[in-house]
Structure 1
Amino acid sequence: MKHRLFASTVLYVVAVVAVAFAGPAAAEDAELKTSWGVPDLQGTWDFRSITPLERPAAFGDKATLTAEEAAEWEERRRQERAARVTSGVQDVDPSQGDVDVGYNSFWLDLGDKVSGTMRTSLVIDPPNGRVPALTDDARRRSNERYALWGQPPAGPEERNTYERCIVGFNAGPPMTPGAYNNMMEIFQSPGYVAIMTEMINDHRVIPTDGREHADESMRFWKGDSSGVWDGDTFVVTTKNYTEHTAFRGTGPNLVLTERFTRTGPDALLYEYTVNDPESYEAPWTSALEMRRSDDPVLEYACHEGNRAMTLMLRGARHREQEGKAEDGKDWLASWYGGQNRVDAAREALEAAKEEQDQ
């Protein structure tokens, strides 16, 4: 009798302890689910990160950071930023007057934290942390863009989609850390996930039933996205981009796969895979842990008070009237990688043309 009583007491204590430990975990899991049972991705997420896209050569084969190394890196970046802001010295191309000053260090918001993945690069595949090489065709397209953007525009079509406030430069898809406006907000309902980015307030409404994409004859600035749940991960496939939408040299036949996974109450793992054989010699994947933010996603009034496009086109018509339409080939070259980058693009195109003519 005593043995049975003792055994019952032990089982009771074990059960109570198990419930005590399981209770908080179960409650936390419930908080990460919507009322209809799928992971809750909703909220405002901050994707700023000082982790570079590609692994710096100094890290060699080192894929991850220790906590001490991450803290040291973050402190060094904070000191560098403070020094730039307080020095009053800006990296301005003298030939461009004060045009570049509008984007000086004071206004940039790159963040001061490494990605929660603790990796030395955002690229996780290939294992070397480097983006695969561009194909010859992708390099040609890139050179054509740089050569075009480095000269005065004759019309709005000769400016990129960022300047025209059509697509934000970090809004994606894919979403990537940029100079500012590194925020996005997710909304959910049964059957749909909506993503709104702070940059130009771009938004996507993504069905979650894995439906077929639109016909390839239909092209979209941000591509055509279709999603499906794979366990606790929301997987989104995007294709049917326009020929004018290029992410790091990609073409209109890019197939982008994004993965959204809640990894904690205040963390969202965001991964994307670039698959574009016409532009890259191999697919590659990037991963970034976004952080929950209490800050609101503000309106980005891209064209409010913006007379840049109007004045550029007025200037082009004026130069045409004066017979100087071909002058000023180095216009705003510093915005597009510097004069050396623009000159290299022009030289590569000329060399290719000469080779073709022979």
Structure 2
Amino acid sequence: MRLNTHFGAALAAAITAGVALVPANADEAAEPMRTSWGVPDLQGNWDFRTITPFQRPEELADREFLTAEEVAEWEARAADSKAERDITPSPEADASQGDLDVGYNSFFIDTGTQTSPHMRTSLVVDPPNGRAPANTRDALWRMAENRETWSRSPRTPADRPPATRCLIGFNAGPPMVSSAYNNMMKLVQGPGYVAILNEMVNDHRIIPTGGGEAAPEHIRFWQGDSVGRWEGDKLVVETTNFRPETNFRGSGKNLHLTEKFSRVDADTLRYEYTVNDPESFEAPFSVIHDMRRTDDDVYEYACHEGNVAMHLMLSGAREQERENPDAVDDTWLPTWFKGLPKKEDLLAAAEAEEGSADEGE
């Protein structure tokens, strides 16, 4: 009910107030465009595709920024790679082909061909080395448990990852991250509220901007509970109360995410966020991800209509069990999760570390 109330309030406020803007004084170029009710205007359709890596490549060491020549080189290489994918015929499919869960035609992959406007060597800006801190042991163990669950034949829909069930998108967040496709969001404002609609799975958040308390700790949301406030010309959004199934690079249900939205210029929305989750990361880390205004619209995202795919997955699992009831493998593990740690590897590493500690005494 709370979400529906916020959604209706935001839309009603936006319709009533309109999208009228108060132009900045021509003599004050730095003054942002404002809404008719006086706050900075953040509205628009925003494209967050980028080829800037999330973490700084190790070979760039302590370099924070690219040169203009390097930006041109990176973007030319990305454009050439996309063009090559578009014209290269797909191989003939056959029954022995593996990893069909990621058999996307390259037409659907759209990671962009531009670096982030800030020309940084990574989206991570703190720590200064441009690399996210390591996961804690608890986080690694949670990831290993997910790997184990998602590897086995599913008994119920709950045995599949949330994105496979079309519950949440893998780039919609929060935080929002550039990924394989659907890297767009629409932001609309009304007095006292901001609404963010992501193209991926059409996930949306209705965020009050007058501050206030988060929901009680026992109430959990797929995208967390977001409360916003204005700090000068920046919209600051604090999000907590995530569900345990929500995961950002190994985060847990007690993730505290701080997002900041501000206008750099007419065509750029600065999106900053800080990830604070001591149970999952060895230290907090911060990201700056500039988004570009686009005239493209945010379209409906159907995922799999009527959830038919889930019925097929479960019926396929039962047939697989009938054919080979003793089979143990990772057939059901989506290819993009095969990099998750395995329990046996974590246990072996912990045992080796304990042995080394004993030898040092």
2:169 maps to 168
2:262 maps to 261
2:336 maps to 336
Residue 226 of structure 1 aligns with an amino acid whose one-letter code is V
| 1:196 Cα offset (Å) | 0.5
Q: Does 1:348 align with 2:350?
A: no
Residue 324 of structure 1 aligns with an amino acid whose one-letter code is N
1:62 maps to 63
| 1:114 Cα offset (Å) | 0.3
Taking structure 1 as reference, are residues 148 and 98 closer, same or farther at Cα in structure 2, changes over 3 Å only? closer
| 1:336 Cα offset (Å) | 3.1
Q: Does 1:239 align with 2:236?
A: no
2:355 maps to none
TM-score normalized by the length of structure 1: 0.85
Taking structure 1 as reference, are residues 98 and 216 closer, same or farther at Cα in structure 2, changes over 3 Å only? closer
| 1:147 Cα offset (Å) | 2.3
- What secondary structure, in the 3-state scheme, does the structure 1 residue paired with 2:35 have? coil
**Any unmatched runs of 5+ in structure 2?**
1-23, 353-361
User: What is the number of residues matched between the two proteins?
Assistant: 328
In the alignment, the residues of structure 2 paired with residue 272 and residue 284 of structure 1 have an alpha-carbon distance, to the nearest angstrom, of 8
| 1:273 Cα offset (Å) | 0.5
1:324 maps to 324
In the alignment, the residues of structure 2 paired with residue 185 and residue 161 of structure 1 have an alpha-carbon distance, to the nearest angstrom, of 23
- Within a 5 Å distance, the mapping from 1:15-94 to structure 2 comes to 24-26=26-28, 29=31, 32-88=33-89
In the alignment, the residues of structure 1 paired with residue 212 and residue 73 of structure 2 have an alpha-carbon distance, to the nearest angstrom, of 46
Identity of aligned pairs, percent?
A: 54
Taking structure 1 as reference, are residues 101 and 258 closer, same or farther at Cα in structure 2, changes over 3 Å only? closer
1:310 maps to 311
Tell me how large the CA RMSD over aligned residues is: 2.5
Once the two structures are superposed, residues 252-282 of structure 1 have per-residue CA deviations (whole angstroms, 9 ceiling, x without a partner) of: 0000000001010111000110000000000
Residue 335 of structure 1 aligns with an amino acid whose one-letter code is T
| 1:297 Cα offset (Å) | 0.3
2:17 maps to none
In the alignment, the residues of structure 2 paired with residue 93 and residue 134 of structure 1 have an alpha-carbon distance, to the nearest angstrom, of 39
Q: Mean Cα displacement is larger for which, 77-86 or 226-235?
A: 77-86
Taking structure 1 as reference, are residues 206 and 161 closer, same or farther at Cα in structure 2, changes over 3 Å only? same
Once the two structures are superposed, residues 162-208 of structure 1 have per-residue CA deviations (whole angstroms, 9 ceiling, x without a partner) of: 01111110001100001000000011111101100000111100001
TM-score normalized by the length of structure 2: 0.84
Instruction: Kindly indicate whether the alpha-carbon contact (under 8 Å) linking 2:184 and 2:198 is maintained by their aligned counterparts in 1.
Output: yes
- What secondary structure, in the 3-state scheme, does the structure 2 residue paired with 1:103 have? coil
Structure with a larger share of its residues in helix: 1
- What secondary structure, in the 3-state scheme, does the structure 1 residue paired with 2:212 have? coil
Q: Does 1:134 align with 2:131?
A: no
Residue 330 of structure 1 aligns with an amino acid whose one-letter code is D
- Within a 5 Å distance, the mapping from 1:270-285 to structure 2 comes to 270-285=271-286
Instruction: Kindly indicate whether the alpha-carbon contact (under 8 Å) linking 2:99 and 2:335 is maintained by their aligned counterparts in 1.
Output: no
1:224 maps to 225
In the alignment, the residues of structure 2 paired with residue 291 and residue 242 of structure 1 have an alpha-carbon distance, to the nearest angstrom, of 30
1:207 maps to 208
Taking structure 1 as reference, are residues 354 and 187 closer, same or farther at Cα in structure 2, changes over 3 Å only? same
Instruction: Kindly indicate whether the alpha-carbon contact (under 8 Å) linking 1:138 and 1:280 is maintained by their aligned counterparts in 2.
Output: yes
In the alignment, the residues of structure 2 paired with residue 330 and residue 64 of structure 1 have an alpha-carbon distance, to the nearest angstrom, of 41
2:302 maps to 301
| 1:28 Cα offset (Å) | 8.0
Instruction: Kindly indicate whether the alpha-carbon contact (under 8 Å) linking 1:146 and 1:336 is maintained by their aligned counterparts in 2.
Output: no
| 1:308 Cα offset (Å) | 2.1
- What secondary structure, in the 3-state scheme, does the structure 2 residue paired with 1:115 have? coil
Instruction: Kindly indicate whether the alpha-carbon contact (under 8 Å) linking 2:141 and 2:343 is maintained by their aligned counterparts in 1.
Output: no
In the alignment, the residues of structure 2 paired with residue 231 and residue 247 of structure 1 have an alpha-carbon distance, to the nearest angstrom, of 29
Taking structure 1 as reference, are residues 353 and 64 closer, same or farther at Cα in structure 2, changes over 3 Å only? closer
Residue 136 of structure 2 aligns with an amino acid whose one-letter code is T
